[in-house]
Amino acid sequence: MKRLWGLQKFALYPLFLAVVIVTVSSWYECNQLLVQEQTARAQAENANRLKDEFLAIVSHELRTPLTAILGWVGMLQTGMLDSEKATLALETIERNANLQMQLIDDLLDVSCIIRGELSLNCDWVDLVGVMTVAIEAVQPAADTKAIQLESVFDISVEPIWGDSDRLQQVVLNLLSNAIKFTPDCGRVYVRLSKEQSRESGVGSEEQSPHSPTVAQIIVSDTGKGMSADFLPYVFNLFRQADSTSTRLNKGLGLGLAIARHLVEMHGGTIGAHSSGIGQGATFTVKLPIPK
The per-residue pLDDT for 201 is 37
pLDDT tens, position by position, 202-218: 333 455 556 688 999 99
Choose among 56, 282, 51, 106: nearest CA to 181. 282
Run of H or E including 214: strand 213-221
Mean pLDDT across 51-71: 74
Q: How far is 212 from 192, CA to CA, in rounded Å?
A: 17
Helix (H) or strand (E) holding 267: none
Q: How far apart (Å, rounded) are the C-alpha atoms in residues 280 and 286?
A: 20
Amino acid 138 reads: V
Query: What domains sit in the chain, N to C, each tagged with a CATH number?
Result: 1-118 (1.10.287.130), 123-288 (3.30.565.10)
Collect all residues with Cβ–Cβ distance below 8 Å to 258 and sequence separation of at least 6.
Answer: 106, 109, 110, 113, 169, 173
pTM: 0.71
Q: Write the pLDDT tens digit of every residue in 174-199.
A: 999 999 999 999 999 999 999 887 64
Q: Binning pLDDT at 50, 70 and 90, where does residue 52 land?
A: low
Contact 285, 268 (CB under 8 A): yes
Q: What values do phi and psi take at 181, rounded to 5?
A: -100, 10
Q: Give the pLDDT score at 204.
A: 39
pLDDT tens by residue, 226-265: 888 888 888 887 665 554 444 445 556 688 999 999 999 9
Q: CA 66, 71, 72 angle in degrees (round to 5)?
A: 105
Name the burial class of residue 122, with classes exposed (0-12), middle (13-18) and buried (19+) by CB atoms within 10 angstroms of its CB. Answer: middle
Mean per-residue pLDDT for 266-284? 93
The helix/strand/coil state of 22 is helix
Q: In what order do the strands lie in the sheet with 187-196?
A: 148-153, 187-196, 213-221, 281-288, 269-273
Across the range 26-43, mean pLDDT stands at 74
